[in-house]
Amino acid sequence: MPGEAKPWTSEDCLYLNIWTPVAKTGRKRPVMVFIYGGGFTNGSAAMPLYWGDRLARKGVIVVTFGYRVGALGYLAMTALSKESADHMSGDYGLLDQIAALKWVRRNISGFGGDPNRVTIFGQSAGAMSISLLAASPWAKGLFQGVIAQSGGIFEPMEIAPGWALSNAEAAGDAYAATLGSPSLAALRGLPAERFLGPDAIAVSHPVVGGAVLPRSPYAVFAAGQQTDIPTLVGSNEDEARALVDLSAVRAATFKDGIRAAWGDLPPALLEAYPHATDDEAKIGRADFERDLRFGWDMWTWARLQAATGRRPVFYYHFTQKPPFPTGTVYAGWGASHFAELWYVFDHLAQEPWPWTRADEAVADAMSSYWTNFAKTGNPNGAGLPRWPAFSGANRVLYIGDPIGVGGLPDQPALSTFDAVYAQVRGAPVGASGKP
C-alpha cells in the first residue's frame, strides 16, 4: 500500500514455509506448493496473503518457497554457458523451483505430506513458471497436478526472440558491460544490489533452448510430451485494470497507445476490440491487454492439454469483484490481476474491507475447489456447483456471484489471436483444441 515501508529483500532467499493441519490422521496428506508471481523481477514467499493456514484447515499440507528473480535469477551470458557442464545459463530461478520441489519430494513425508500427491499452484509469473515446469524434462515426476492462475507461456517464440538462449546470452553480455565488470570473477565480486537496477529488467526472463528448457511449452504440449497430469487453469475478468492506466485512453489514440506499449501489431488484433468512442476504447484496451497477456495463453493451455493429454483439464473465469475501498490504489480495479488471491487462500479477513456474504461464499468455494483438486485431481466436491472438465465445448466455470458454467468469454477476439499467431507459427490451435 502507498506509504508503507518497503519490505526487506535479499538474494539469500532459498527458504521454505510449511503449514500442516492440526488434526493428525495417520495418513499422508496431499501437498500444495505455491509459486508466487512478480513478473520474474520481484515477489516473496513471506507475504501474509500467501499464508497457507486456511487451506491447511481443509486437509492439505501447504508449502511456499523463495526463488531468485531479476538478473540474479535469469541472467544468461556466453561465459556462464561456457563454464556450465550443460552448456547453458539463465533459468536459475526455474532451477530454484525445481530444487524446492525435489526438497519437498525428499522431506515432506516428515511433515505428514504425501510426496506422490503434490500439486503446484501459482499466479502470474508463478503460473508462467508452472507452464515451464510442465514442459521441462528436469521437473518430470516432481508433481502430480498443476493449478495456474493468470499466467502461461504459449505464444510463438518467434515474437519473443530475446528468450532464445543465444539471444539471451548476447543481451546478458551487453548488460554485464553496463556494470563495468569484464569477467565473471569481477561480476561475482559485485554486491547484489548492483543487479537490481532498471536495466536488469531486460534480462529478467526465462530462457528457452538450454538443458532445463530445451523447447517452448507450446512445442512440448503440441507434441504431447508435457508432464501429463490433471490441470486447472484460468484468468480474471478485469486483469488489466491493475496493470494499465486506462484514464488516458482515447478513441483517437487507441492504436497509438497499444503501439507504444507493444510495437507494431497486425491490424486484425486491434480491430478485434471496438474503440470508436472513448468509452469503447477504454474497455477495448483493457480487454486487449487481458487477452494478450493472459486470456489467450490460458485458453491455449487448456486446449493443448485437452487435445494431447490424457488427464483432465478444468478451466475457470474469475468474475468476483473484491470491495476495494475508494481512495486506495485498488479502487475501481474489479476482478483484476491478483484479485482472486484473497479468495484462493481464504484470507478475506486480512483486509478490513466491506466483504459481503457473497465474497465469503466465493472464498469458501474457491479454496475448496483448489484443495479438492489437490486431493483427487478433480475440483468437485459436496456442496459445490458442479465444474465440468474442459473440452471442445468450451465448458468454463465462472467463479463469482453466482458460480456457474458458461461458454468461453471473448472467443471472437481470442480466435483472432489464434489466426495471427498461426501465421507466425504455421501451426494453428483450432477451437477443438487440436494443434
**Per-residue tens of pLDDT for the chain, all 435 residues:** 334 456 666 778 889 999 999 777 789 999 999 999 999 999 999 999 999 999 999 999 999 999 999 999 999 999 999 999 999 999 999 999 999 999 999 999 999 999 999 999 999 999 999 999 999 999 999 999 999 999 999 999 888 889 999 999 999 999 999 998 878 999 999 999 899 888 999 999 999 999 999 999 999 999 999 999 999 999 999 999 999 999 999 999 999 999 999 988 889 999 999 999 999 999 999 999 999 999 999 999 999 999 999 999 999 999 999 999 999 889 999 999 999 999 999 999 999 999 999 999 999 999 999 999 999 999 999 999 999 999 877 799 999 999 999 999 999 999 999 999 988 876 544 433 333
| H or E segment and range at residue 119 | strand 113-123
**Cα–Cα distance for residue pair 311/149, rounded to 1 Å:** 19
The answer to whether the bond into 137 is cis (omega within 30° of 0) is no
pTM of the model: 0.94
Tell me the domains of the chain and their CATH numbers: 1-229 (3.40.50.1820), 236-435 (3.40.50.1820)
Burial call 379-397: b when 16+ CB within 10 Å, e when fewer? bbbeebeebebbbeebbbb
Catalytic residue among 81, 89, 124, 204: 124
Find the Cα–Cα–Cα–Cα dihedral 375, 381, 386, 391, rounded to 10°.
Answer: 20
The amino acid present at 276, given as its one-letter code, is A
**Cα–Cα distance for residue pair 87/211, rounded to 1 Å:** 8
Residue 317 annotated among the catalytic residues of the structure: no
Residue 124 annotated among the catalytic residues of the structure: yes
Residue 144 cell numbers, joined: 502430480
Coil, helix or strand for 145? strand
Catalytic residue among 155, 169, 237, 239: 239
Contact 175/196 with Cβ under 8 angstroms?
A: no
Residue 87 annotated among the catalytic residues of the structure: no
Catalytic residue among 89, 337, 347, 415: 337
Contact 288/257 with Cβ under 8 angstroms?
A: no
Q: What are phi and psi of 404, to 5 degrees?
A: -165, 170
Residue 279 cell numbers, joined: 468509452
Q: Which residues pair with 316 in a beta bridge?
A: 234, 397
**Cα–Cα distance for residue pair 130/139, rounded to 1 Å:** 10
The answer to whether the bond into 161 is cis (omega within 30° of 0) is no
Residue 173 cell numbers, joined: 553480455
Q: How many residues does the chain have?
A: 435
